[in-house]
Amino acid sequence: MSPNEGPKTLRNVAERAGVSVATVSRVLSGSYPVTRHTRQRVLRAVEELDYVANSHARALRGQATESVAFVVNDVRGPSFALVAHGAEEEAARRGRLCLICTTQGHAERELAVVRTMRAQRAGAVILVGGVMDDERYRRRLAEVARSLEASGSRLVLCGRPPIGDGVPATVIEYDNEAGAHAAVSHLLARGHRRIVFVGADPLGTTTATARLAGYRRALHEHGGDADERLVIESDFERDTAHDRIVGSIRGGLAFTAVFAVTDSAAAGALTALNDCGLRVPEDVSLVGYDDVAPATDLRPRLTTVHVPYEELGRAAVRLPLGLREGTISAADQHLVLGTHLVVRESTAPPPPPARS
């Protein structure tokens, strides 16, 4: 009805209630003594004008709760979605807003995004996921961490190793290497000897490197070293893994088990095996990594390494905010969460050696 032009301000409310802006502010903050009569008049004016305080002005004055910025490669990835959920949940619990940005894996864009977040005076800037383990990039990141710290913000690395001593950053990791070790040990215990690792990354993404290291350690502890022909390069995507596995089988590679670097890659591997007439787990056992959506949709359901992604997200908010509030010490800003193997139906003992 009324031609309400633009948002209302404290002044509008004050005029309507016939008091000063200071009084309105005091009524709304609630922490100052105000006469019952005045309070009611103000509250009615607020109601009638449908007033909502401008959070930018409030932030400027230093009173608003800072937001939390969440920088992710791609929201569509199931593991990213889990981390985002955990982070958002924890942020909401504390009354913080959650900003989200995607980088599509571009380091340049990541730096640009962090700059924007610094302008926003976000309480924490959370970088999620593994990256190229590149020396130059690490140096730039260390610089970013210091910039953020100087701006009163905090850099959080989530699911990614620390960048160095003396760099002010909170780090939430999970034990990638141990998870891979457990997965491969499981296959070894069941009697497998020729175990393919699909997902070796020549570019050296931290996640892929750590999982491959776990694979190698398990084999090494078991007495043999890896046959390098069994280590197959691939990214984390299903189609790539599919094509690489098909190619390897066509090339005559012999194996009885596949350990895939991610569940997505495992999904691709499963299709590839089936395409080549191999059954899982009767002919070939299959293990994935992440324990995300595909794992229970596949048939057979996938044996995989569970990663506590939601807890990762929660910790990525809890730790830096706790540091600001003084409830969590600087020494506790590095957290390593455990992983564990979930055994489902995609693993079995190897078939007896064919005799033809």
Binding site for DNA (CB under 7 A): 6-7, 9-11, 18-23, 25-26, 28-29, 33-35, 37-38, 51, 53-54, 57-58, 60-63
Chain centroid, CA 307 distance in Å? 10
Q: Measured from the CB atom, is 53 or 157 closer to DNA?
A: 53
Q: By the criterion CB under 8 A, which residues form the site for a copy of itself?
A: 4, 6-7, 50, 52-57, 59-60, 64, 67, 70, 74-76, 78, 81-82, 84-85, 88-89, 92, 97-102, 115-116, 118-121, 147, 150-152, 267, 274, 293-294, 297-299
Q: Measured from the CB atom, is 9 or 240 closer to DNA?
A: 9
**Residue 142's binding partner out of DNA, a copy of itself, none, with CB under 5 to 8 Å set by partner kind:** none
Question: Please, which residues bridge with residue 18 across strands?
Answer: none
101-107 contacts: CB < 8 A, separation 24 or more? 101/69, 101/70, 101/71, 101/72, 102/71, 102/72, 102/73, 102/74, 102/75, 103/71, 103/72, 103/73, 104/73, 104/74, 105/73, 105/74, 107/131, 107/132, 107/137, 107/140
314 in Cβ contact with 86 (< 8 Å): yes
Looking at the chain, how many residues does it have? 356
Question: Please, which residues bridge with residue 337 across strands?
Answer: 174
**Residue 121's binding partner out of a copy of itself, DNA, none, with CB under 5 to 8 Å set by partner kind:** a copy of itself
CB of 194 to a copy of itself, least distance (A): 26
Q: Measured from the CB atom, is 97 or 107 closer to DNA?
A: 97
Structure tokens at 209: 């490197």
CB of 71 to a copy of itself, least distance (A): 11
**Residue 120's binding partner out of DNA, a copy of itself, none, with CB under 5 to 8 Å set by partner kind:** a copy of itself
